[in-house]
Amino acid sequence: MARTTTKLILLAALAATTACAHKRPKVLPPAAGDVAPPTNDQTGSAGAIEPGSPQDFQRSVMSDTIHFALDQYDIDPQSRAILDTQAAWLAKWPNRRITIEGHCDERGTREYNLALGDRRANAAKNYLAARGIDPSRITTISYGKERPIALGSDEASWAQNRRAVTIVLQ
């Protein structure tokens, strides 16, 4: 009798876990950092990138991201070259607005990193303004250490997270 009860309990547990099994979806969402392929509404009917679109920005500039040294917010020569390509694109499309996001690595307090991210975003904004871009077209936001793109706790990951990212608004 005890054996039958034990078998019934095991059988019920097996049935319960099998019923709760989660099937893998046919199409997986993109991994963190992956960019979804453009859809028809982003590329137009012919599949070409629409001039002046965020996708055109991505294609036309060296990068949408500049990086910073530890606890720094100054614009180095490599970042200047990237921002110069962004300024040229923005000058070509004077009706487009952008947001510059300031980011930090995981070290430091939340408050310190929010302030540093703000200084980084504003340094990029000021550089673009000095290149003739109307500052009223540029908004800034600091995410501090809240949105890392590299999740490791090593110098390589921290270096990727110390950045300012330019986003073209729709």
What is the distance between the alpha carbons of residues 160 and 151, in angstroms, rounded to a whole number?
10
> Is 32 a member of any domain?
no
Integer CA distances (angstroms), 110 to 100, 105, 144, in order: 19, 10, 7
Per-residue pLDDT of 13-46, as tens digits, reads: 666 555 555 555 555 555 555 555 555 444 455 5
8 A C-beta contact, residue 92 and residue 132:
no
> Is 31 a member of any domain?
no
- Domain count along the chain: 1
* pTM for the full predicted model: 0.72
Give the CATH number for residue 117.
3.30.1330.60
> Is 134 a member of any domain?
yes
> Is 64 a member of any domain?
yes
With a pLDDT cut of 70, the percent of the chain lying above it is 75
> Is 10 a member of any domain?
no
Q: What is the pLDDT of residue 43?
A: 47
The DSSP symbol for 104 reads -
| Structural domain boundaries, residue 90 | 55-170
Per-residue pLDDT of 99-140, as tens digits, reads: 999 999 999 999 999 999 999 999 999 999 999 999 999 999
